[in-house]
Structure 1
Amino acid sequence: MISKTLLHKYETVITTAFNRQPRRVFLALLSGARNCFGFADVPAVYDDFVIYDMKLSVAQNNLNSLLPLDINNINSELRIYFSGEDYRTAFSIFKKTSIDPDLPICILITQTSGGQPSDWWPDRFAQLADQLHRNSGLQVVFVGSKSDVVKIEKIRASMIEPSVSIAGLTDIPTLAAVMCISDVAVTVDTGPMHIGTAVGLPMILVASAWQSPHEWLPVGSQKVTILRSNDISCKECYKAYCATRECMEDIGVRDVYSNVVRKLAVYPPSAPARLQRVKDSMVDAPRPKLL
C-alpha cells in the first residue's frame, strides 16, 4: 500500500471516519501528500483533524471531514442519480415481468449480504407479502442481486398470493429508478435500503439491534420508519453472528404490516409522488452521477 501510494503523488489525503486508525493515518502521512487531514485516533500528527461525533450518522461524520477545506454547507441526506436510459430500463423490466405501473407497488428487500446478523425470517416475509397484496392491494415486487434469487424464490414458493421478482435484473442506478416509480418498501438493513433512502421512497425498515443506530440506519428520516428492539438487554452487541437473534424475534408480521398501512396513509401511492422522485433523481447524462 505504501509503494502504491507513493507512486501516485497525491496532493491531499483525507482519512474518513472508519479509517482513523493509527496505521491508516501514518500511511496518509507517508504518502507524501502536501495536505493530510480528517479523522485520527492520534490527532496530534495532523494540523487539522475532525472529532468523531457519536450523535451523527457515519455519512454526516464523513461530510464533516471536509471542514478543514471550509466545506461545511452540505446537504447531509444521501442522494443517488440515474440517467434517462436507466429510467426506461426500469419501465422495461416492469413490462417484462407484468408489473402494472398504474397500480400501487411495494418493494420487498429480504436479503442481506450476510456480513451481519440482520436477516428477518423468510416465513414472516411470506406472510407479510400475502397480507400486503390481499389486504392492501399492493403489487409485491422482490428485488435483490443474482445471488439472492434462490432464497427469494423459496419465499415466493411459500406464499399464497401472487408476487413478482426482479432479483438479478437491476444494477444500482436501475434499482434507484425502480424505487422511484414504486410507492413503498419493506426492507432489512442492507445496501439497497440506502438506495431507497437516497431516492426518498417511503420505507419500513426491519432492523436488528446489533449496532448503534447512528452508524448506518437512516435515523431522523421522516420517510423511513425504523422497527428496532431498543430495550433489549443485548442490544449493540456487535456480534458478527447471533444464533438466536432475539432483537429480530420481537418484530412480528403484524407490527410491520400495520406500519406499512400507516406509512401509506401519510404517503399514499400517487403518480405525482412518483414523478417528483424521478425529477429529483434523474440527470441528463449517459451514466448516473453518484454523490
Structure 2
Amino acid sequence: MGVAGAVKSVGLSAVAAVERVLRGTRMKPDPAAARNVLVLEYRLPLGCCVHQTPFYEAMKLRRPDVSITVATRGLGADFLRHHPFVDHVISTSSDGLKDPRAAAREVRAQLAAKQIRPDCILTGFWDSRTVMAVMAMLTAPVWRGGYTLAPELFQKPLQRDRSLSQIGLALKLAKLMGAETSHLEPRVFFSAADQSAAQALLAAANPTGKPLVVMVTQGSGGQSTGWKDERNVQVIRYITETLGFALVFVGTPGDTARIETLREAAGGAGTSVAGKTTVTELAALLAMSDWVVSIDTGTMHVGRAVGVPMVVLGPSWQAPEEWMPLGFDHIKVMRGEDKPHDPPGPPGYQLDEIQADWVTTALDRLIQAYPASSEARASRIARGLSTVDHR
C-alpha cells in the first residue's frame, strides 16, 4: 500500500470508528438474522446485470424468508422489471456512482414509502467502488457486506477471488448470506407484452417462418471485440444464401448505421431491429430465435441467460473463464490463442484470429444438434416469461 493508500485507509477507519459510536449495535453483522436485504446496483454494463442474477436466485432457493430490494437506475431497473427473484426495485434518477448523496436520499425516500427497513446493504463485485460504500453509509444505519474497495467501511467485506468466474463471484455473495448453492446459470425475464412486441418484429422480419438466426455484430465499445467487415459479410451470406435462413440483426440505436453498412455489403441481406427493443423485449426475441451468432458483448450474455444455441466470438486477450459460457454443448465459443492483456484489450485489437469458416462450421454443428424447433422456442419462452412487474 502506498502513502496515498495508507492515508485513505486511516481516514476511512476513522469514519468507521465514528459510525460505530453513533450507530452502535445496529451495525453488528448477522446474515442469518437478515430478513430485508438492500442491494446497490449502479455499475450497469448489460453483462454485469446478467451475471448478478444467480445471486438473486440463490437467495430465493436457500433463503426464501428474505425480501430482496435492489436500488438501481436506468438499464438496471429495466433489466430487473420482471424479475421474480427480486421483491422490490427502487429506481433513482441520480447515479450513485456520481452523486451518492442524492442517490441515497432518493433510496431512503422510496424505502420509507414502501415501508421497507433493510437489515443490511450489499454490493456485488461490479459495485465495489468506494463511492458505493459511501452511498451505503448514507442510505441506512445497518451493516454492510459484499465486494468493496473500502473494506474499512464494511462489516462483512468480500475480496475478489480471481479463480472464480463472474457467476462464481455472485454466488460467493450468496454464500455470505447463508445461501450457498452449486452453479446457477443467469436468468433474464420478460412479460407477455414483451413477448408480443418481439413476435411482431420477428413476424415482419421473417413472414414465411424460415429458421431464424440472430446476429450481433456490434459491441458496446467498452472493450475491443470488433470483427472485420468482410468476415461478417461471409457469415451473413452463408446464413441467407447457402442455408436460406432468415437473419435478424439486433443492437442499440447507435449500431444502426454500422449494421446497414454490413447489410449493403452483403446485398441487403437480413433485417435490422437495432434500437427497436427494450432489454426485456430483446430477451424475448432471442428466446424466440433458433440460433445466435454474437461477438462478446452484453446481448450475448442475454442469449446465454435465455438458453438459445449460440456461436460466440470471444477475444483472445481476456481469460475466458471469467465471462465466457464454457462447457455447454449448445454454445460454441470461438477464440484465438491466449494473449494476456488488461481490459479493455490491446489498442486497435480485432477478433482477427477467428476465421469466417470457423463460425460457419460451428453454426452448422449447432444446426445439426439443435435444429429449428417450435418446441424448443416454446420451452425458452416458458422459462423466461414472468407476470411480475416492479414498476
Alignment TM class, shorter chain as reference: 0.7 to 0.9
Please list the CA deviations of residues 188-207 of structure 1 after superposition, one character each: whole Å capped at 9, or x if unmatched: 11111111111101101111
Identify which of 133, 137, 156 aligns with 2:263.
156
Identify which of 360, 370, 376 aligns with 1:267.
370
Within 5 Å, give how 1:127-138 maps onto structure 2.
127-138=234-245
- The structure carrying a bigger helix percent of its residues is 2
Match of 1:171 in 2: 278
> Does the CA-based 8 Å contact 1:204-1:227 persist in structure 2?
yes
CA RMSD of aligned residues (A): 2.6
Identify which of 13, 26, 34 aligns with 2:142.
34
Distance verdict in 2 for CA 1:35–1:268, change over 3 Å: same
> Does the CA-based 8 Å contact 1:106-1:138 persist in structure 2?
yes
User: Is it true that 1:207 corresponds to 2:207 in the alignment?
Assistant: no
User: Is it true that 1:143 corresponds to 2:246 in the alignment?
Assistant: no
Identify which of 328, 335, 341 aligns with 1:236.
341
> Does the CA-based 8 Å contact 1:116-1:241 persist in structure 2?
no
Match of 2:379 in 1: 276
Farther-moved stretch of structure 1 (216-225 vs 194-203): 216-225
Q: Distance in 2 between matches of 1:45 and 1:164?
A: 51
Farther-moved stretch of structure 1 (81-90 vs 61-70): 61-70
Amino acid at match of 1:200: G
User: Is it true that 1:89 corresponds to 2:197 in the alignment?
Assistant: yes
Distance verdict in 2 for CA 1:45–1:153, change over 3 Å: closer
> Does the CA-based 8 Å contact 1:2-1:31 persist in structure 2?
no
C-alpha deviation, 1:149, in angstroms:
1.0
Gaps of 5+ in 1: none
SS in 2 for 1:80: coil
Distance verdict in 2 for CA 1:157–1:33, change over 3 Å: same
> Does the CA-based 8 Å contact 1:209-1:236 persist in structure 2?
no
Please list the CA deviations of residues 3-30 of structure 1 after superposition, one character each: whole Å capped at 9, or x if unmatched: 4476456842223213435565466456
Distance verdict in 2 for CA 1:28–1:86, change over 3 Å: closer
User: Is it true that 1:104 corresponds to 2:207 in the alignment?
Assistant: no
Gaps of 5+ in 2: 1-98, 109-116
Identity of aligned residues (%): 26
Amino acid at match of 2:144: C
Identify which of 5, 13, 24 aligns with 2:121.
13
Distance verdict in 2 for CA 1:20–1:163, change over 3 Å: closer
Which structure is higher in RCO with an 8 Å CA cutoff and minimum separation 6? 1
Aligned residues: 283
> Does the CA-based 8 Å contact 2:191-2:385 persist in structure 1?
yes
C-alpha deviation, 1:31, in angstroms:
5.4
Amino acid at match of 2:343: Y
C-alpha deviation, 1:66, in angstroms:
2.8
Q: Distance in 1 between matches of 2:255 and 2:272?
A: 10
SS in 2 for 1:82: coil
Q: Distance in 2 between matches of 1:77 and 1:254?
A: 29
SS in 2 for 1:225: strand
TM-score normalized with structure 2 length: 0.65
> Does the CA-based 8 Å contact 1:126-1:159 persist in structure 2?
yes
Match of 2:230 in 1: 123
Q: Distance in 2 between matches of 1:6 and 1:154?
A: 44
Amino acid at match of 2:176: P
> Does the CA-based 8 Å contact 2:104-2:135 persist in structure 1?
no
User: Is it true that 1:254 corresponds to 2:357 in the alignment?
Assistant: yes
C-alpha deviation, 1:161, in angstroms:
7.0
> Does the CA-based 8 Å contact 1:156-1:163 persist in structure 2?
yes
Farther-moved stretch of structure 1 (27-36 vs 77-86): 27-36
> Does the CA-based 8 Å contact 2:292-2:310 persist in structure 1?
yes
C-alpha deviation, 1:230, in angstroms:
3.1
